[in-house]
Chains A and B, each alone.
Chain A
Amino acid sequence: MAYTITENVMIAKSTWRMVLSGDTGKLSRPGQFVQLKVPGFYLRRPISVCDFDNSSLTLIYKVIGQGTQAMAQMRAGETADLLPGLGNGYTVAPCQPLLIGGGCGIPPLYKLCKVLIAQGMKPQVVLGFNSKDEVFLEDEFRAIGAAVTATTVDGTYGKPGYAPQAAESLAFDYVYTCGPDAMLKAVYRLCETRGIGGQFSLEERMACGFGACMGCTIQTNAGAKRVCADGPVFTKEELPW
């Protein structure tokens, strides 16, 4: 489907925000993703949706390779071809939530945070970055009323250390998370320690993004699952960690 890029700007080190306008009818839940066609590349790029409304959607992505480098060259006013509304997304239920994200795993938690707040919940948000120059979305989370703790691995900003460490002192009874594998596993152990549940958004190399190619299948406690179509969000019980 065709969308118009209305903005594509760098917001932190190697971190870009692309806003597109077009039909967002297929986006129904936070935590879903889109597959974006990048000029010059054969496969689409799966990018999580940071925010959306009736006519626009926001993607925040990290430039990590040639494909995302080309994405950063796309300009406002240009048309982009994307498959919207892929994946299952987060399921929202009443709880005292912790949202914990690392690096480019943070964006999908933003729309989730909005939805949780709209339903009367008071999310604690912990954001993990490597360094001060990579910090993004912190102000936006505060602006919608979330209690935010920022962390940096090198200690140049916020609490020094990793995000899951900073979460240990907080009060919550359910976790929503997205980020690097090591962080997700640390969050999983935190859930185990506290005896609580959570939802984990995973990342995997994928081709189609809509469940056809079986390129992203992982083994779970509920059998073989496609990260793209059966995920990317899995419950703690499903993860064989």
Chain B
Amino acid sequence: MVNTGVVLAGIQLDNPVIPASGTFGYGKEFKEYYDINVLGTFSFKGTTLAPRFGNPTPRVAECTAGMLNAVGLQNPGVEHVISHELPLLKTFFHKPVMSNVSGFSLDEYKETAAMLDTQEQIGWHEINVSCPNVHGGGMAFGTSCENAAAVVKAVKAVCKKPVFIKLSPNVTDIVSIAKACEDAGADGLSLINTLLGMRISLKTKKPILANLMGGLSGPAVFPVALRMVYQVSKAVRIPVIGMGGVQSAEDVLEMMLAGATAVQVGAANLVNPYTCKEIIEALPQTMETYGITDLQSIIGGAWK
């Protein structure tokens, strides 16, 4: 018997597999495919204070081993999430869920996070300072140490639950931003968000995405994500949730060896809705194959 359990900021997870925000909605689309209680938890759709329509279409494009998206944080707004999505989620998901919060000002981050912090279903907050697809917010907060630290302080001041900061890879030195978040009081870090990319249509000779640029995800980004998780987790003392192109139990183990305490799965859910269930089912056998009995024990195993 192997132990797939991990502890994430004081909360026990049955396994480290967490569908990533923006690829799992508020859970209901996936319950049509499997019982999502097999998950460690999931990070719900990026939520803002006010409802957002997001960007015009086309919002998605494909590339070799991945995809671009420029959805632009479409969501029904935090009040609707609290009044409709969370009560519905409660009927089919019985574990603590991870909130995901975005904003366009410090006040907005603070207000949204404070409202979600009162919800008993929420176990952790993931604060997105790295959305590449919105203007005047999102990534602007995650690309400087000062701004990222200011978000951490604002949110921590109003939240009792653990706060993870989701970092952008679109920076010169992700480690310095990670450390700034840690120093400002973050309980953990999530990385990486998508890498800014572009595709151009040969038919129209123009960018495919209406937003011109979009975030690259999928297996193409896995080695970049793995490298950043390694660098960041080695440099901080708070837990890191690793993500970026993960699509197999082997990828989960690799992320954990790089230093991730838990692992998110994003784009793969969109290609195969059963991905997380299949990874969780494959995890014990894959651990045995590589002589791992306790998953928690391999975190950061590659540092030495």
Known contacts A219-B53, A224-B53; A213/B71 CB under 8 A: yes
In whole angstroms, what is the CA distance A37 to B23 when docked?
18
Is B93 located at the chain interface by the 8 A CB criterion? no
Is B184 located at the chain interface by the 8 A CB criterion? no
Q: Are A217 and B74 in contact (CB under 8 A)?
A: yes
The chain B residue sitting closest to A218, CB to CB, is: B57
Is B29 located at the chain interface by the 8 A CB criterion? yes
Q: Are A224 and B25 in contact (CB under 8 A)?
A: no
Is B278 located at the chain interface by the 8 A CB criterion? no
Q: Are A211 and B57 in contact (CB under 8 A)?
A: no
The range of chain A's interface size is 20 to 34
**Distance from B62 Cβ to chain A, minimum over Cβ atoms (Å):** 5
Q: Are B57 and A216 in contact (CB under 8 A)?
A: yes
The range of chain B's interface size is 20 to 34
Chain B residues whose C-beta falls within 8 Å of the C-beta of A215 in the assembled complex = 57, 59-60, 69, 71
B194-208 contacts to A, CB under 8 A, are: 208
Chain B residues whose C-beta falls within 8 Å of the C-beta of A213 in the assembled complex = 22-23, 60, 69, 71, 270
Q: Are A42 and B66 in contact (CB under 8 A)?
A: yes
Q: Are B270 and A212 in contact (CB under 8 A)?
A: yes
Q: Are B271 and A212 in contact (CB under 8 A)?
A: no
Contact mask for chain B residues 20-59; partner A; CB cutoff 8 A; 1 contact, 0 none: 0011110001101000000000000100000001100111
Which of A41, A206, A212, A216 has the most C-beta atoms of chain B within 10 angstroms of its own C-beta? Answer: A212
B251-268 contacts to A, CB under 8 A, are: 267
In whole angstroms, what is the CA distance A160 to B106 when docked?
61
Is B286 located at the chain interface by the 8 A CB criterion? no
In whole angstroms, what is the CA distance A28 to B114 when docked?
44
Is B91 located at the chain interface by the 8 A CB criterion? no
Chain A residues whose C-beta falls within 8 Å of the C-beta of B62 in the assembled complex = 41-43, 67
In whole angstroms, what is the CA distance A224 to B80 when docked?
14
Known contacts A212-B25, A213-B60, A214-B74; A42/B53 CB under 8 A: no
Chain A residues whose C-beta falls within 8 Å of the C-beta of B63 in the assembled complex = 42
Is B61 located at the chain interface by the 8 A CB criterion? yes
In whole angstroms, what is the CA distance A44 to B270 when docked?
9
Chain A residues whose C-beta falls within 8 Å of the C-beta of B270 in the assembled complex = 43, 207-208, 212-213
Is B302 located at the chain interface by the 8 A CB criterion? no
Is B83 located at the chain interface by the 8 A CB criterion? no
Is B218 located at the chain interface by the 8 A CB criterion? yes
Q: Are B60 and A229 in contact (CB under 8 A)?
A: no
The residue that A207 contacts in the complex, of B29, B30, B32, B69, with Cβ under 8 A, is B69
Q: Are A224 and B74 in contact (CB under 8 A)?
A: yes
Chain A residues whose C-beta falls within 8 Å of the C-beta of B74 in the assembled complex = 214, 217, 224
Q: Are B67 and A214 in contact (CB under 8 A)?
A: no
Chain A residues whose C-beta falls within 8 Å of the C-beta of B45 in the assembled complex = 214
Is A190 located at the chain interface by the 8 A CB criterion? no
The chain B residue sitting closest to A211, CB to CB, is: B29
**Distance from A198 Cβ to chain B, minimum over Cβ atoms (Å):** 22
Is A142 located at the chain interface by the 8 A CB criterion? no
In whole angstroms, what is the CA distance A83 to B22 when docked?
20
A75-110 contacts to B, CB under 8 A, are: 83
Q: Are B57 and A207 in contact (CB under 8 A)?
A: no
In whole angstroms, what is the CA distance A213 to B74 when docked?
10
Is A133 located at the chain interface by the 8 A CB criterion? no
Is A210 located at the chain interface by the 8 A CB criterion? yes
Is B269 located at the chain interface by the 8 A CB criterion? yes
Chain B residues whose C-beta falls within 8 Å of the C-beta of A67 in the assembled complex = 62
Q: Are B58 and A207 in contact (CB under 8 A)?
A: no
Q: What are 17 contact pairs spanning A and B, CB under 8 A?
A: A42-B63, A42-B65, A43-B62, A83-B273, A208-B270, A210-B32, A211-B25, A212-B25, A212-B30, A212-B270, A213-B69, A213-B270, A214-B45, A214-B54, A215-B57, A216-B57, A217-B74
Q: Which residues of B contact A (CB under 8 A)?
A: 22-25, 29-30, 32, 45, 53-54, 57-67, 69, 71, 74, 208, 218-219, 267, 269-271, 273
Q: Which residues of A contact B (CB under 8 A)?
A: 37, 41-44, 67, 83, 204-208, 210-219, 224, 229
A42-B66, A214-B22 provided; 15 other pairs, C-beta below 8 A?
A42-B62, A42-B271, A205-B58, A205-B208, A207-B267, A212-B29, A212-B30, A212-B269, A215-B57, A215-B69, A215-B71, A216-B57, A217-B57, A217-B59, A218-B57
